[in-house]
Amino acid sequence: MTILIHSETKMVVQGLGRDGSFQASKCKSYGTPIVSAVHPGRGGLYFEDSVPIFDSVEESVDTTGANLGLIFVPAPFALDAIIEQVDSGIENIVCITEGIPVQDMTKVMSYIEGKKVRLIGPNCPGFICPKENFKAGIIPSEIVSSGPVGVVSRSGTLTYEAIVQLTNLGIGQSACIGIGGDPIHGTSFVDTLRMFEEDNDTKIIVMIGEIGGLREQHAAEYIKSNVSKPVVACIVGQTAPSGRRMGHAGAIVTGKSALAQEKIKVLKSSGAIIAESPTEIGYVIKEILK
């Protein structure tokens, strides 16, 4: 099996509103083993006639053994949803929800510190593993193909862009992960690089970063000392004006170190191969594979 999942991974979907129901159906049709769903007030009913719905995550886990959680709960309730999954023993939690207040995520990160749990997100597209037909999130399964390239990105849209380029060039993916662009989130570039480095199915890593923060610098430090596989990095936002928020809450240029050129410089020094534009990622990978 690839990163994040194993042969006994079973998913619970929390939040069956309009978007949650639509995306859960997409995950299920792709092949993801969804064993339960949680939506207060609908306990005892079934999602798509086969997936039991429970009123609480604890009841769901106790009954079905779910160990990976996918959250579509609205932002005001996401803090409680994440903590409920942590308390129920979920190993990996993927939170798609956007707009969660920073103070709520501060509480979440403090709560999960030291606990055996991985949080991906929030405000992210989740992940997809083509070889296993496993999808936890909103990455379109129609654009992926199975192969040796691991993709990690702060931007959901650019995750899709990279995947489409690779697939159109006949280059498949081992796993594709969107970690989210909020200022405070769970799984980092370093966490994902570590997983890809240890994964036998991943031969090349694509890393898509943005302006703002120091996440790419931390990734560069890790690449230099710990990653033996080729890393193709692309940093977007090279023309962004200083001091202005650019799309993501975390994409704010707050000083020289947050500039795209500074991130590119440090990634180059770590040994990463730079794709100057998102449109070049696939072609850079193709050259490496020649």
| 75-87 and 102-112 helices, crossing angle to 10° | 0
Rounded to whole angstroms, the Cα distance separating 108 from 131 reads: 32
**Residue 62 half-sphere exposure toward CB, CA atoms < 13 A:** 8
Of 171, 170, 164, 181, the C-alpha closest to 216 is 181
Q: Judge contact between 150 and 122, C-beta under 8 A.
A: no
Within a domain: 57? yes
266 plus 145 within the same structural domain: yes
Beta bridge partners of 177: 127, 152
pLDDT (tens digit, 0 to 9) for every residue of the chain, 290 residues total? 689 999 999 999 999 999 999 999 999 999 999 999 999 999 999 999 999 999 999 999 999 999 999 999 999 999 999 999 999 999 999 999 999 999 999 999 999 999 999 999 999 999 999 999 999 999 999 999 999 999 999 988 889 999 999 999 999 999 999 999 898 999 999 999 999 999 999 999 999 998 777 889 999 999 999 999 999 999 986 544 555 555 554 445 455 556 778 899 999 999 999 999 889 999 999 999 98
Within a domain: 69? yes
Domain enclosing residue 258, as ranges: 139-289
164 plus 53 within the same structural domain: no
185 is catalytic: no
The CATH number given to whatever domain includes residue 23 is 3.40.50.720
177 plus 280 within the same structural domain: yes
Rounded to whole angstroms, the Cα distance separating 158 from 208 reads: 7
Catalytic residue among 6, 185, 218, 248: 248
